[in-house]
Amino acid sequence: MVSGSDIHWNLLSMKKNNLFNRVYDTVAIMFFIVATCSFFACSKDDDTPPYISPYAENRTVMVYMVAENSLSSNALTDVQEMLVGMNNDTLNVNDRLVIYLDDVKLPRIYVVDKTTKKTLLSDLIPVVTYEEDVNSASAEQLGAFVDYVKTHYPAESYGLVMWSHASGWVPSTYNGDRSGGVSAVRKTFGVDNGKNISNKYNGNNGHQMEIVDMAKALEGESFDFIFFDACVMQTIEVAYELRHLANYLIASPAEIPAPGANYKTMVKAMFSKDDCVNQMMTDYEHEYRDSYGLVISAVNTSALDDYATYMKSVVAAHRSEMMGLDTSSMLNYIHYGTWTTMYPDFLDLQGIMLKVLDGEEYAQWKAETDKVVTCLHAGCWYSAYLKGKVTIDDAQCCGMSMFIPFEKYAYNSWAFNDNYLKTSWAKAVWIE
């Protein structure tokens, strides 16, 4: 794209055809070489309008797609679906999608509303194309994009879609993110390989975004929802860290299929004025109910501070039972050591409490937890790690995982226990 001269602004740098999920190919990630970034400029096309809205929109949904990795082709499919989904008579004329896409080409920003007539992404002209590649897996780049959208497309309300690979709250597997020592970082979202390649192995070697950095970059923002179209992001550690940024966090505690949400229908749910959260969950679960299966849940962030206070008392009373759990028959979204030791167990919180609490205590815990999280599931999910469908025991499933610093992790090279104790959740709940 030819850069224009009308408007210049600086940002800080940094589906349907397979069963692979969006958790990283971590074996390849171990051996990748550091990629570095600096400031880059990007600009609008000369032939586009200024795109500075004179009035507030009903809702602007920002879609942040970190796809400079093996999901590059899936990203293109999903953007194409968004074009179809926005062509919906039920949407308000002022509803708008602003899409940041970084795939194997230079990063660019698209704007789509219900008047957009393009049906093919190849025909859609970006409002911004970057002059050079940037690290889209940096929190600063995310924050700059959000600032840009709020300046140019102000709205009465905002939603945020975070689209990429992900791995919950656990440490980065990329050496370039570990320069301060393995125990000094906790990376989780996105993979930007800095090479504009998309193959499964080398394509998934790259920078990842720390949840703490994400929270700082978005500090002061207030979204109706943050939706993670990415694997294993519905952990209590992630939700608690981001609790001040959105009314609801929508994500899966398990792996999701690489195609992600079906945005032909999901778009309508994202712009629902009455019940967008439940509609988004229902739409996503329905998409995979009869195929791969899925677990999806929503966390009510307004309840998390009180919940942490309650859970601190539960942990204090049952710490020894939790540390001694036999996890072999528990609902576990990522099994430590089954495929790799780069991820710990991702145990469903309800399954943990079912094991350690008596009947009366469990009833109280369930009542408190129902104020926080709502879950839908299809009875199973497809696990690329375990190479097949995993059945869900409904009695163990609340749709949110919680880490326990088991002794078996003490000497793991990824320092799970040390990193966990630095999370806000651990400080509030686990540390005595």
Measured at the CA of 171, the angle between CA 170 and CA 174, to 5 degrees, comes to: 135
CATH of 12-41+53-301, one of 3.40.50.11970, 3.10.129.10, 3.20.110.20, 2.60.40.740: 3.40.50.11970
Average pLDDT over residues 113-134: 93
Which class for 402: exposed (0-12), middle (13-18), buried (19 or more C-beta within 10 A)?
A: buried
- Residues 157, 55: Cα–Cα separation, whole Å: 13
Would strands 246-251 and 295-300 be described as parallel, antiparallel, or unpaired?
antiparallel
Q: What is the pTM of this model?
A: 0.87
Taking alpha carbons only, the member of 207, 242, 213, 244 closest to residue 228 is 242
The lowest-confidence range among 43-52, 148-157, 369-378 is: 43-52
Per-domain boundaries in the chain? 12-41+53-301, 304-430
Give pLDDT tens digits for 253-297: 999 999 999 999 999 999 998 889 999 999 999 999 999 999 999
Give pLDDT tens digits for 61-106: 999 999 999 999 999 999 999 999 998 888 888 899 999 999 999 9
The SS3 of residue 11 is: strand
Burial 145-177 (b: 16+ CB within 10 A, else e): bbebbeebbebebbbbbbbbbbbbbbbbbbebb
- Residues 223, 239: Cα–Cα separation, whole Å: 14
Taking alpha carbons only, the member of 217, 170, 214, 163 closest to residue 190 is 163
pLDDT mean across residues, the chain: 85
Residue 386 has pLDDT above 90, yes or no: no
pLDDT at 20: 52
Residue 242 has pLDDT above 50, yes or no: yes
Between 282 and 18, whose confidence is greater?
282
Between 36 and 120, whose confidence is greater?
120
Taking alpha carbons only, the member of 61, 45, 54 closest to residue 4 is 45
